[in-house]
């Protein structure tokens, strides 16, 4: 193992093949981090790795893994340990959602959301945070959503998984206070990425083409990175999204449910 490679600061980015994950990888490379890029599709990541090497001179380890199954997490952890990489940043970005009535959506897909959005995120965090604590240096950025702040009829499982991510992240942020490691929950609103296309496989929510519009993946990534570096527990990019999260705790539950159901209902 090259001693220079061991000495580098590495960032693990899951869901790095597109969208917010890709933008975060580009930002981390620009800031001097070498990368461990993780996703199911390796070709887009190899292209990204070449681009980052040419632009910033930073190396990337490309790991093709399906984090929706336990073997996927094990593959990432094995790669990190065998290469003896110093992981300073963990970005848990991989995740997906499905829109539609609970009883009509495929059970496999809904359980898959639990596996990827919750189990994989928790497992990777558990594997990599102890090393950060031992070195008294590290950052975890967990990509949640504004969906984390209220129940989501017609996307009920997805909203519940993001509520877990927000709750877990903020609790762990407090546990690690003063130990050199911070945990940040990034809570973007609707962002036009491949996530949206997959979420709308069964039903395209009105929110996806509604008056609130969509966020920009690059801006979301920049907001998340800045908040992570400042050690913030939660960041909600965009003024409209932020105001919405402030409103949610004071709104009657019935109103929240009806409004969210309207936004998640089919636009046709």
Pairing assessment for the beta strands 9-14 and 34-39 based on DSSP bridges: parallel
Say if CB 17 and CB 39 are below 8 A apart.
yes
Q: Let me know if 225 is a catalytic residue.
A: no
**Is 60 within 8 Å of 52 (Cβ atoms)?**
yes
Catalytic residue among 139, 158, 159, 190: 158
Q: CB of 105 within 8 A of CB of 25?
A: no
Q: Do 144 and 169 contact (CB within 8 A), yes or no?
A: yes
Cα–Cα distances (Å) from 222 to 20, 23, 229, in that order, read 10, 8, 11
Active-site residues: which are they? 158
């Amino acid at each position: 193992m090259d001693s220079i490679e061991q000495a580098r600061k590495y960032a693990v980015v899951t869901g790095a093949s597109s969208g917010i994950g890709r933008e975060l990888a580009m930002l981390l490379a620009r800031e001097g981090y070498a990368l461990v890029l993780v996703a199911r599709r390796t070709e887009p990541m190899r292209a990204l790795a070449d681009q980052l090497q040419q632009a910033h001179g930073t190396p990337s380890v490309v790991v093709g893994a399906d984090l929706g199954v336990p073997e996927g997490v094990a593959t990432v952890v094995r790669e990190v340990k065998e290469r003896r990489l110093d992981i300073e940043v963990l970005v848990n970005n991989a995740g997906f959602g499905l829109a539609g009535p609970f009883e009509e959506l495929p059970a496999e897909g809904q359980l898959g959301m639990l596996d990827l959005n919750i189990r994989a995120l928790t497992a990777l965090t558990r594997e990599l945070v102890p090393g950060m604590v031992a070195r008294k240096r590290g950052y975890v950025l967990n990509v949640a959503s504004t969906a984390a702040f209220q129940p989501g009829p017609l996307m009920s499982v997805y909203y519940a998984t993001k509520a877990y991510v927000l709750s877990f992240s903020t609790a762990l942020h407090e546990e690690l206070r003063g130990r050199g490691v911070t945990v940040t929950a990034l809570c973007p609103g609707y962002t036009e990425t491949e996530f949206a296309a997959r979420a709308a496989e069964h039903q395209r929510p009105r929110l996806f083409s509604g008056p609130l519009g969509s966020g920009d993946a690059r801006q979301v990534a920049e907001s998340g990175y800045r908040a992570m570096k400042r050690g913030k527990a939660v960041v909600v990019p965009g003024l409209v999204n932020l105001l919405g999260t402030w409103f949610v705790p004071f709104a009657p539950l019935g109103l929240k449910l009806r409004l969210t159901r309207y936004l998640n209902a089919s636009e046709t």
